Amino acid sequence: MALTDIWFLLIAVLWTGYLVLEGFDFGVGMLLPIVGRDAIDRKVTLRTIGPVWDGNEVWLLVAGGATFAAFPFWYATLFSGFYLALLIILVALILRGIALEYRGKIDDATWHRRWDLVIVGGSAVPALLWGVALANIVRGVPMGADHEFAGSFFTLLNPYALLGGLTTLLLFALHGAVFLALKTHGDVHDRALKVVPPLGIASVVAAAGFLGWTQTLDGSWITWALAVAAALCLIGGLIASRLGREGWAFLGTAATIALASATLFTTLYPNVLPSTTDPAFSLTTLNAASTPYTLKIMTWVAVIFTPLVVLYQGYTYWVFRARLGRTDFPTPVQKVAS
């Protein structure tokens, strides 16, 4: 394999890792008002992602940095053409991070309620728009010989991309519900399990439609196999949840997102951003890549540091593996005036 192919594969892995890990973060945030009926339940819900959510976002930073360094022309066209959509995602992520950090600074119901709304919105907006962005990357955008994006923000809001956004929104919500069932006990656990079946059915319909549509763009036997595997993992995860096997259910939804991402990137290759104006104007792994010397240096850096990052994050998940419930957050004793 050429270094350009290796770096396309590595970037695909980084984006897949981000979607799987940040996916359940988004899902937990979106489900906060559904599974958290009172202050203690909401505290339990948010504490499940408290130790890991910021570490999960590291995958996004590394994926963006790797894209910039390995394929600068892809990065330039992508971030100029998708500027408004990516800006909205960035603002939502910033507000969500602020809300997660500042919500507990003041013990006041109104303060908590306002930040809870920010958490819900800051989770739902990226969950939707990442799907829209990925779908447009696979489908292609209007682009001339100069590789400049020739559309507008509304060009990105085509039916295929909107279906992609709906698919990621539902899959992440389902992923979050299964994660909560795995990480909690008591009321939050029971409410999370109740939303799994309806979210599962909606996710199956949306994902089947989106991945089926993707195959009509540039499908092959490999992408068909990946899409079918994703569907089987999703169904298997729902069955496992029904049987009370939360660990296997979470593995099923995680594998579904990973395989769906693999389907998209395999469909995209060897392009990195197709042109709907003329296929000859498309950006590929060859004409969008950095110099061989740059890719060689990056490869050595990745070989050394990537395993360290993965090991550290895996250790974090291991340390905070215990289930949480209301008994872990007792209600403060109210002082009675004499």
For residue 331, what pLDDT is reported? 62
185 lies in some domain: yes
Domain membership flag for residue 330: no
Identify whether 202 is part of a domain: yes
The boundaries of the domain holding residue 247 are 3-323
- Residue 41 C-alpha from the chain's centroid: 24
Closest residue by Cα to residue 285 from 82, 9, 66: 9
275 - beta bridge partners?
A: 141
For residue 143, the SS3 value is strand
Contact criterion met (CB below 8 Å) for 103 and 112: yes
pLDDT of the residue at 305: 87
- The C-alpha R_g of the chain, in whole angstroms, comes to 21
| C-beta of residue 199 within 8 angstroms of C-beta of residue 174 | yes
Q: Do residues 164 and 135 make contact, with C-beta atoms less than 8 angstroms apart?
A: yes
**Whole-structure pTM value:** 0.94
> What are residue 275's phi and psi, to 5 degrees?
-105, 125
pLDDT at res. 332: 54
Contacts of residue 247, defined as CB under 8 A and 6 or more positions apart, other chains included, come to 182
Which position has the token pair 């000859």? 280
In a domain, 123, yes or no: yes
**One pLDDT digit (tens) per residue for the chain, 338 residues:** 789 999 999 999 999 999 999 999 999 999 999 999 888 999 999 999 988 998 899 899 999 999 999 999 999 999 889 999 999 999 999 999 999 999 988 888 899 999 999 999 999 999 999 999 999 999 999 998 988 998 888 899 999 999 999 999 999 999 999 999 999 999 999 999 999 999 999 999 999 999 999 999 888 999 999 999 999 999 999 999 999 999 999 999 999 999 999 999 999 999 999 999 999 999 999 999 999 999 999 999 888 988 888 898 899 889 988 899 888 876 654 444 44
End-to-end CA distance of the chain: 79
CA-nearest of 310, 328, 321, 333 to 55 is 310
Rounded to whole angstroms, the Cα distance separating 110 from 236 reads 41
Q: Is residue 331 part of a domain?
A: no
Distances, alpha carbon 54 to alpha carbons 25, 47, 112, 186, in Å: 10, 13, 20, 26
What pLDDT is stored for residue 37 in this prediction? Answer: 85
In a domain, 337, yes or no: no
Residue 136 and residue 161 in contact, taking contact as beta carbons nearer than 8 Å? yes
213 located within any domain: yes
Residue 333 lies in a domain: no
Tally of domains within the chain: 1
Element (H, E) at 158: none
